[in-house]
């Protein structure tokens, strides 16, 4: 076994290949995590018949035909990720928006991609970039522990081309959106005579409702098709009859929730029910961040959408990346931009997905990891490597805030701040873990 894994619980993670990579500064205080942004799910969409405001009755019929193809593509598709079972992949976040909303420009601003915005906008095309999550605790802990290298946690952003066009997105694009762990919904708030809005006017609230309506129709179609099949199936005695009856009842609850509020993200579910729905990858159930893409003249003004939505000028922020750090700071001061979008969007995404950060360290590496809030120590061990979870004995735990305050592990131990915890211990944001295991 790799000595990194045996020594402190570090595993190797797959390379990002041709992905873009950008290191972000700022964010977080040495003593604790800073979430410098707001997130939101979509505003509830009206009942199903209200969607005719966007596409009419014939349009809804066309939607059903299209999404049947999307379902078939999803059922036959595989997420383009590492096949290693001992590796925990980055959380994947899909950036979606109506045409000319600036979503690709936002992707460029987040990941540092230098190509022109239209380069990856072909229907069905995907462009992937990895963004390191800013956390000042990584550098502060590294200054104390002196590892040979330090590694931030990371998020994978995906720009999906050709969504929500008049021709409709390809089934592959819809499948890629379903494979995401969360969504960033980009709505246009900037005016441009050179690039007029396809609806004739700029209205972020209307555009957000249209995006939500598209997601609503997608989920509704999948539910109704499955419910129809289950109603027929449960009429006949089969070994799975009781299981299918439970699935039918759950999907009927989902259908009622969609009809009532237009989304599934607030539907109360048990752990067992969440597991049963996981394979459907409903779009309205995914955590979401809403970003209003404003113009340069709107910087510093009242945001076009109320909190928790974010407001930023993706075009200016992409241009800022071409400057050297000192020149960039000066330009940001002149423009009234206090922080670039990447840290804000990353922090908002973590909050939306309910993720916390924990750390592992040895002489070779200090690493930050992401973990669902409320997860146990054995789950954190599995996040690092499956062997650590399988052979879990105990976790040695030190709060990052204690180590930063006391200045050394020796002082941490002297003050009784190092704890031994079992597999059911609920990991806290900022915990420094050393997993003891035997396999």
Question: Which residues are CB-contacts of 210 (< 8 A; sequence separation ≥ 6)?
Answer: 54, 98, 164
Q: What is the pTM of this model?
A: 0.78
| 179 assigned to some structural domain | yes
| 349 assigned to some structural domain | no
How do the pLDDT tens digits run along the chain, 439 residues long? Answer: 333 333 343 433 333 333 333 333 333 333 333 222 222 233 333 333 334 344 444 444 544 554 454 444 444 434 434 333 333 457 999 999 998 899 999 999 999 987 655 555 566 678 899 999 999 999 999 999 999 999 999 999 999 887 887 666 677 788 888 999 999 999 999 998 888 888 889 999 999 999 999 999 999 999 999 999 999 999 999 999 999 999 999 999 999 999 999 999 999 999 999 999 999 999 999 999 999 999 999 998 999 999 999 999 999 999 999 899 899 999 999 998 988 888 999 999 999 999 999 999 999 999 999 999 999 999 999 999 999 999 999 999 999 999 999 999 999 999 999 999 999 999 999 999 999 999 8
User: Taking a C-beta distance cutoff of 8 angstroms, is the pair 261, 44 a contact?
Assistant: yes
Same domain membership, residue 96 and residue 171: yes
CATH code (residue 422): 3.10.20.30
Look at residues 238, 256, 289 and tell me which one is the last residue of a structural domain: 289
Whether omega before 60 lies within 30 degrees of 0, making that bond cis, reads: no
pLDDT for res 119: 55
Total of domains in the chain? 2
- The closest of 340, 317, 375 to 190, measured between CA atoms, is 317
The angle that helices 204-233 and 241-261 make with each other, rounded to 10 degrees, is 160
Same domain membership, residue 7 and residue 103: no
Same domain membership, residue 8 and residue 56: no
- Give the Å distances, CA to CA, from 94 to 72, 164, 251, 281, 363: 20, 14, 25, 13, 36
Cβ burial of 175 (10 Å; 0-12, 13-18, 19+) is buried
Provide the strand spans (E) within 118-206: 126-132, 149-151, 154-160, 182-188
């Amino acid at each position: 076994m790799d000595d990194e894994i045996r020594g402190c619980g570090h595993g190797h993670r797959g390379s990002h290949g041709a992905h873009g990579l950008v290191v972000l500064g700022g964010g977080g205080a040495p003593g604790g995590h800073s979430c410098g942004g707001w997130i939101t799910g979509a505003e509830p969409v009206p009942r199903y018949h209200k969607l005719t405001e966007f596409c009419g009755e014939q349009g809804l019929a066309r939607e059903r035909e299209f999404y049947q193809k999307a379902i078939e593509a999803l059922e036959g598709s595989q997420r383009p990720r590492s096949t290693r079972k001992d590796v925990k992949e980055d959380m994947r976040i899909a950036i979606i928006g109506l045409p000319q909303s600036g979503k690709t420009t936002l992707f460029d601003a987040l990941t540092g991609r230098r190509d022109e915005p239209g380069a990856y906008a072909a229907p069905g095309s995907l462009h992937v970039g990895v963004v390191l999550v800013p956390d000042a605790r990584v550098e502060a802990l590294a200054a104390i522990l002196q590892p040979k290298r330090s590694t931030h946690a990371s998020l994978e952003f995906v720009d999906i081309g050709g969504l929500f066009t008049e021709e409709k997105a390809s089934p592959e694009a819809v499948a890629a959106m379903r494979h995401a762990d969360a969504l960033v919904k980009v709505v246009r708030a900037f005016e441009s005579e050179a690039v007029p809005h396809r609806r004739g006017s700029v209205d972020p609230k209307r555009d957000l409702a249209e995006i939500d309506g598209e997601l609503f129709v997608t989920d509704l179609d999948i539910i109704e098709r499955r419910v129809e099949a289950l109603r027929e199936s449960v009429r006949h005695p089969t070994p799975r009859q009781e299981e299918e009856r439970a699935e039918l009842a759950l999907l009927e609850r989902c259908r009622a929730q969609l009809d009532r509020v237009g989304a599934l993200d607030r539907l109360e579910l048990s752990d067992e029910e969440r597991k049963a729905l996981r394979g459907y990858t409903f779009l309205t159930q995914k955590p979401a961040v809403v970003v209003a893409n404003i113009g340069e003249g709107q910087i510093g003004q009242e945001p076009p959408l109320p909190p928790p939505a974010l407001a930023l000028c993706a075009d200016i922020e992409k241009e800022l990346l071409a400057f050297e750090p000192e020149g960039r700071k000066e330009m940001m001061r002149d423009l009234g931009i206090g922080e670039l979008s990447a840290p804000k969007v990353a922090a908002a995404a973590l909050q939306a997905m309910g993720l916390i950060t924990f750390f592992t360290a040895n002489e070779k590496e200090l690493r930050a990891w992401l973990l669902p809030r409320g997860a146990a120590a054995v789950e954190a061990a599995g996040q690092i490597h499956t062997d650590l979870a399988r052979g879990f004995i105990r976790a040695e735990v030190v709060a990052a805030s204690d180590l930063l305050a006391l200045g050394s592990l020796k002082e941490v131990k002297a003050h009784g701040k190092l704890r031994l915890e079992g597999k059911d211990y609920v990991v806290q944001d900022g915990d420094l873990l050393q997993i003891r295991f035997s396999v």
